[in-house]
Structure formats: structure tokens, C-alpha cells
């Protein structure tokens, strides 16, 4: 593949991608035991119980309403073709970056190993299983014949 070799340690393209382009950061500041007890245990149990009783509360008390999953199995990545899920990660991170930068939406890059998990190829059962964690599942960069239909 042309252009796939790191030509110099200072290559700015590789430098930009080192360590990935996205991260998860807390939206609240937890600085002491009291904050930890509210954010995690035992306080979080109260929020979980409320959501269990009224699932619509998840939109208010979790990140669900402002998060999407950007999902691929790596079978049709840009002009690169079937490069597999791991090699597709820089593209999925880039899409996640675009969601955050231009729409203010938290996006999680998710890779699906099509060969390792038959029946969980996007957007079939996989998106149904991950949907409760995000507002939307964006199935992308997959061959049409690799995507199961509902």
C-alpha cells in the first residue's frame, strides 16, 4: 500500500494520530470522598433505581442523549477497501472527532470483528445491543454485503 510507511519520525500525519485522536473526559469534577460517593457508589444506586423505574430519565441523568456510536467492521474503508476493523480505527476516530468538534456530540468509535462474531455485524443485532448506551448508532465503512438488514 502506497504511503503506509512512516518516512520520518517527525511525519506530522503520524504525529497527529499518535495515541489516538479522541478521549473520554469526565463532565463533573470529583475531588473528594463525598464526590466519589455521589458519582459512584453508594450514590449512583439512587440514580440507577430511578432510571429502572422510569427509563426515560436516562436521557437526563446519563450521557445517552448526547452520545453516538460510530461503528465499522472495516470491510469498506474510504478508498482502502477491506482493511479490517483495527486498521479502520483512525477513520472512526476522525469521524468521532468531527461529531464532537462540529456538533458537540460525544462519539465513541466501535470496531466490530465481523469474522470473530457472526450475527453481530452492523447494523444488525449489534446496534440493537449497543443502542441503550447512545442516542444513535452510525454504521459506516462496511460493504453492503457485509451489513445485515433488519
**Which residues have a Cβ under 8 Å from the Cβ of 59 and sit 6 or more positions away?**
65
Q: Is 95 a catalytic residue?
A: yes
What is the SS3 assignment for 136? strand
Chain centroid offset of residue 134 CA: 9
pLDDT band per the 50, 70, 90 thresholds, residue 103: very high
Question: Rounded to whole angstroms, how far apart are CA atoms 146 and 150?
Answer: 13
- Convert the pLDDT of each residue in 105-142 to its tens digit: 999 988 887 554 444 454 456 667 777 888 888 877 56
Question: Rounded to whole angstroms, how far apart are CA atoms 71 and 139?
Answer: 5
* pLDDT of 78 strictly over 90: no
Which ranges of 2-149 would DSSP assign to H, the alpha helix? 12-17, 33-39, 44-53, 58-61, 85-103, 125-130
Q: Which of 21, 40, 100, 120 is catalytic?
A: 40
Q: Which of 21, 61, 95, 100 is catalytic?
A: 95
32-36, 66-70, 74-78, 111-115: least confident range: 111-115
Q: Which residue from 143, 148, 142, 146 is spatially nearest to 71, judged by alpha carbons?
A: 142
> Can you give the pLDDT at residue 112?
80
- Rounded to two decimals, what is the model's pTM? 0.76
Question: Rounded to whole angstroms, how far apart are CA atoms 150 and 148?
Answer: 7
**Which residues have a Cβ under 8 Å from the Cβ of 71 and sit 6 or more positions away?**
92, 110, 111, 112, 122, 123, 126, 127, 130, 137, 138, 139, 140
Question: Which part of the chain has CATH 3.40.50.10380?
Answer: 63-146
What is the fold of 63-146?
Rossmann fold (3.40.50)
- Convert the pLDDT of each residue in 18-61 to its tens digit: 889 998 889 999 999 999 999 999 999 999 999 999 999 999 99
Amino acid at each position: 500500500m502506497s504511503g503506509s510507511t512512516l518516512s520520518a519520525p517527525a511525519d506530522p500525519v503520524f504525529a497527529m494520530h499518535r495515541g489516538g485522536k479522541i478521549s473520554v473526559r469526565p463532565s463533573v469534577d470529583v475531588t473528594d470522598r463525598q464526590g466519589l460517593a455521589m458519582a459512584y457508589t453508594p450514590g449512583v444506586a439512587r440514580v440507577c433505581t430511578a432510571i429502572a423505574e422510569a427509563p426515560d430519565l436516562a436521557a437526563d441523568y446519563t450521557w445517552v442523549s448526547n452520545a453516538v456510536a460510530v461503528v465499522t467492521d472495516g470491510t469498506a474503508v474510504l478508498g482502502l477497501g477491506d482493511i479490517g476493523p483495527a486498521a479502520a480505527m483512525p477513520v472512526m476516530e476522525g469521524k468521532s472527532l468531527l461529531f464532537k468538534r462540529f456538533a458537540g456530540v460525544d462519539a465513541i468509535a466501535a470496531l466490530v470483528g465481523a469474522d470473530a462474531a457472526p450475527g453481530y455485524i452492523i447494523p444488525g443485532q449489534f446496534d440493537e445491543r449497543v443502542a441503550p448506551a447512545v442516542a444513535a448508532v452510525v454504521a459506516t465503512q462496511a460493504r453492503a454485503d457485509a451489513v445485515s438488514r433488519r
